[in-house]
Amino acid sequence: MTTRIIEKLLNDYIELLNDEEDFNVIINVEKIPDVKTFKAHSVILRYQSLYFRNELANINKDENNIKTINLNHLMLIACEFFLEELAKYIEAYLIETNAHWLRLHFAHVYQESFKSNTHKELQKWRNDIVVKYPYKIFDSEDFTLLHENACWAR
């Protein structure tokens, strides 16, 4: 019985998250021109994250009573917000479904993976690529951004 109640509550919560009718926050993620826009509810954001609570308190509403937040790099943001489970999920998702993109942007992934100790799986993935397929590093679109000692530095 308890399991069904919790499942019903979770389904209601998911429906609320997908409800675009009464949203009052727009979150723009990434950099122009590749902006992803999410519609959200401030009450959920405030209770899920101290960052959002502070951020929403300092943002003015537009003429439609909506607040807009602009963010970069979702995984890094999740870590900054102390949303460890979300950061781990995004990290696993990138490795499992976007390995090609990770290889193309190897230098960026390399640099970002060491900005936080929470990127253990991304660090492991990066090290495996360096060991197993060192030539793949040269295929990276941002290869020239790598420091000359990058692969040996850590």
Residue-by-residue pLDDT tens, the chain, 154 positions: 677 787 787 777 777 767 777 788 888 877 666 778 888 888 888 877 777 888 899 999 999 889 998 877 766 666 655 566 666 777 888 888 888 888 777 777 777 776 666 678 888 888 888 788 777 677 766 667 666 555 544 4
The domain of 93 spans 83-154
Strand 25-29 relative to strand 67-71, pairing: parallel
Please check whether residue 77 lies inside any domain of the structure.
Answer: no
78 lies in a domain?
A: no
- Give pTM, 2 decimals: 0.45
Task: For residue 108, give Cα distances in angstroms to 116, 145, 151.
Answer: 14, 8, 13
What is the model's pLDDT at position 67? 93
| Torsion angle in degrees (nearest 10) through CA of 114, 77, 14, 16 | 180
Residues 28, 105: Cα–Cα separation, whole Å: 22
What pLDDT is attached to residue 63? 92
Q: Same domain for 122 and 142? A: yes
Shared domain for 67 and 121, answered yes or no, is no
